[in-house]
Chains A and B, each alone.
Chain A
Amino acid sequence: MGYVAVKGGAEAIEASIERLKYERLRKGLTLGVDAVEAGMRALVDQVMSEASLYDEAMAALSIKQAEGSPEEAVFLMRAFRSTLPRSYYSLAIDSRAMRVERRISASFKDIPGGQILGASCDYTHRLIDSGLLEETDEEAALWVAAYLANAAAESSPPASAAPMPGAIAGAIDYIRAIGLLKARPIDDAEPRDVTKRSIEFPASRSERLQILARGQTGAVTALGYAALRGYGATLHPTVGELRVGRVAVYVPNPYSSEEGGDAGDAYYVGEIRITAVETLVPVSVRRGMGKTEIEFEIGFGASFGQNETKAIAMSLLDQCLESGDKRSAVQDEEFVLLHVDSVEATGFISHLKLPHYVTFQSKLDSVRKARGEK
């Protein structure tokens, strides 16, 4: 009977929560938060990126609590983020000043500073390694020591072990120098924080980039893929440069005499690892007299941690939304920006599991009336 479903909610909830705990612990093993942080770097990065909260320890704890579900872990992080007072905005971070760990260009073989492959799955064969079944902490420690010793002996140390002096110029600079990039005025307008003010359309580019950067990896990838297949992009884009590495974060000195703070006396608060991508998208431009030329536009993508597919997809969507052309859905900012957020999408879809007794009864009433029943 209907009544059973409604009453006794409190006890049923308690029992359900107990059962969830049982499912997490039933095999008699607990997952160490440090083990999550150490061994699930990709998931930690994905969760921090979608949560738009850079905190590896909290992400690892959320992943443990969520039993590894990214959507749940992101949800926990976002809800926690809501409770943190926002005291400062950092100074703008220039990804050129990055301590680069990985840096590739698909456009040029020879780029100033060279291609740095860094750590990536791109060059592995996806064969399951049964050797990992027997890996031990002792072996791991030995291997790491040997790896570091070997690296120190060679001329170029691994980027993570020693800071890379100086910044590497962007690969894009070359194309800009030879005049193939559409000149754009520098826009240093203060970004609008989408988490402090709800977005209104048309959105500014800063708002778009924020929403894409915190978008659900799968959703951003799917829409970027759609753009690449022809719902948006008409010509094949190329990764001008993809870089992964560490950037320093500074907050302005509140007593600084300069408006907006001066980089010179700003406070260093730490460094974060990010992925940054510049994609070159060829576009045809009408020059009049029936003449068409090809020119490049840049799409920009960035994310906390190493999330390369998402960052590239984001760069494609950035260009699609900048183009102003609205022929396909991925060029429509309301369509893209309102549907890529993990917490919003999973929340609204899961709300379909809530009781709809009243609303359904009301609809039933109009259906019956329309059919002339009593």
Chain B
Amino acid sequence: MSPKSLYNFAFFDEGSKRELRRAILKAVAIPGYQVPFASREMPIARGWGTGGLQLTLSLVGKDDVLKVIDQGADESVNAVSIKRLVKGTTGIRTTEDARDATIIQSRHRIPEFSLARGQILVLQVPMPEPLRFVEPSEYATKRLHAEKEYSGAYLALFEEIMKYGRVSTGADHPVLVNDRYVMAPSPIPRFDNPKMNRSKALILLGAGREKKIYAVPPFTKVASLDFEDHPFEVEAIAGRKCRKCGAEGVFMDEIVDEASGASDYQCNDTSFCGASRVI
């Protein structure tokens, strides 16, 4: 038995793909609602993007062009590994250019280039439940969502203001989708939250280990949770300039020079960084 003969196009059997696509359709129909699905075990580890990978594999066709990003980088080990797996089981073309891709699977970043109509952004999600740290029980959080009972989520932000004088969330700052569901945007930096609002591209979010799929359909309102007197703030980027391409106003990696100990910055989105250097 040769390894090739063991696996179908895009890994899954067609029945599994259809099942996943049904869950996706439901997620698109109810923006921000977490649709439970029968998450399959994948050839990559749980917690390494199996939710995103299942979405990608269920959607991918022979003409698709795939881009995979891990924390902003196309060449990061896990992005390479996922790309290799999809390519290996489908033979489709891959790209680093966000404008060229039909499906972009990403871990924790939304590309700096604004996405276009017809593109699909697949985000990998470790913890899909935005209320999990307020309420550990799944049974209870499902009810809180059903009743649109989000005082706990706001209270958590309020407590941070009381303790630290400001909201101190890092990545994964919760958002309200379509004025209905509070949603975990996945651990994208706060800088990327506004990119979700009225996005032209379809955004799908997949949590493999937690077995949930949810979606932000194109042109849907997405608002980061905040208070009138403590408006939502993105990470500080003012005055930061990419040391490689000179770009400003994008999310930067902080690079510490080993010799001098001084901080320097460069574009976190590596394919954007390259592109802006060429232009």
Contacts and interface: CB of A to CB of B under 8 A. Distances in A.
A343 B171 contact: no
Interface residues of B, number: 73
Given A81-B41, A363-B170, A9 B76 contact: yes
Contacts, number: 176
B168 A359 contact: no
A10 B81 CA distance: 8
B75 A365 contact: no
Interface in B181-232: 187-191, 209, 211-212
B254 A82 contact: no
Contacts of A338: 138
Contacts of B189: 358-359, 361-362
Contact of A361 (B50, B70, B253): B253
Given A86-B15, A347-B45, A361-B254, A12 B77 contact: yes
A321 B28 CA distance: 36
Interface in B44-75: 45-48, 50, 70-73, 75
Interface in B129-148: 136-139, 142
A202 B142 CA distance: 12
Chain B, interface SS category = loop
B168 A370 contact: yes
Interface string A188-223: 000000111111111000000000000000000000
Most buried by B among A82, A194, A202, A358: A358
Interface in A74-116: 75, 78-86
A346 interface: yes
A346 B45 contact: yes
A350 B45 contact: yes
A355 B109 CA distance: 13
A12 B215 CA distance: 34
Interface in A320-374: 334, 338, 343-344, 346-351, 354-359, 361-370, 374
A9 B209 contact: no
Interface stretch (B4-12, B97-105, B113-121): B4-12
Most buried by B among A2, A85, A334, A359: A359
Interface string B21-47: 000000000000000111111110111
Contacts of A86: 15
Size band of the interface chain A makes with B? 35 or more
A366 B168 contact: yes
A39 interface: no
Given A82-B41, A355-B70, A358-B71, A348 B137 contact: no
B80 A9 contact: yes
Contact of B38 (A196, A348, A363): A196
B79 interface: yes
Contact of A351 (B71, B76, B126): B126
A334 B171 contact: no
Interface in A258-275: none
A29 interface: no
A6 B75 contact: yes
A361 B71 CA distance: 11
A129 B142 CA distance: 56
B78 interface: yes
Contacts of B256: 2
Contact of A354 (B70, B109, B138, B268): B70
Given A347-B50, A348-B209, A356-B71, A83 B166 contact: no
B38 A79 contact: no
A13 interface: yes
B76 A1 contact: no
A7 B72 CA distance: 11
Contact of A365 (B170, B211, B255): B170
Lowest 7 CB-CB distances: which A-B pairs, in order?
A347-B46, A351-B47, A363-B170, A78-B41, A347-B45, A82-B40, A198-B211
Interface of B: 6-8, 11-13, 15-16, 19, 36-43, 45-48, 50, 70-73, 75-81, 84, 107-109, 126, 136-139, 142, 164-172, 187-191, 209, 211-212, 233, 235-236, 251, 253-258, 266, 268, 270
25 contacts: A2-B255, A8-B75, A12-B77, A13-B80, A79-B42, A80-B6, A82-B11, A82-B12, A83-B7, A85-B15, A86-B15, A197-B38, A198-B37, A198-B212, A344-B46, A347-B47, A348-B209, A351-B46, A355-B76, A358-B188, A362-B171, A363-B170, A364-B170, A368-B236, A370-B165
Given A75-B41, A358-B189, A374-B236, 9 more contacts: A75-B45, A82-B12, A85-B13, A196-B19, A334-B139, A347-B47, A363-B170, A366-B235, A369-B233
Interface of A: 1-3, 6-10, 12-13, 75, 78-86, 194-202, 334, 338, 343-344, 346-351, 354-359, 361-370, 374
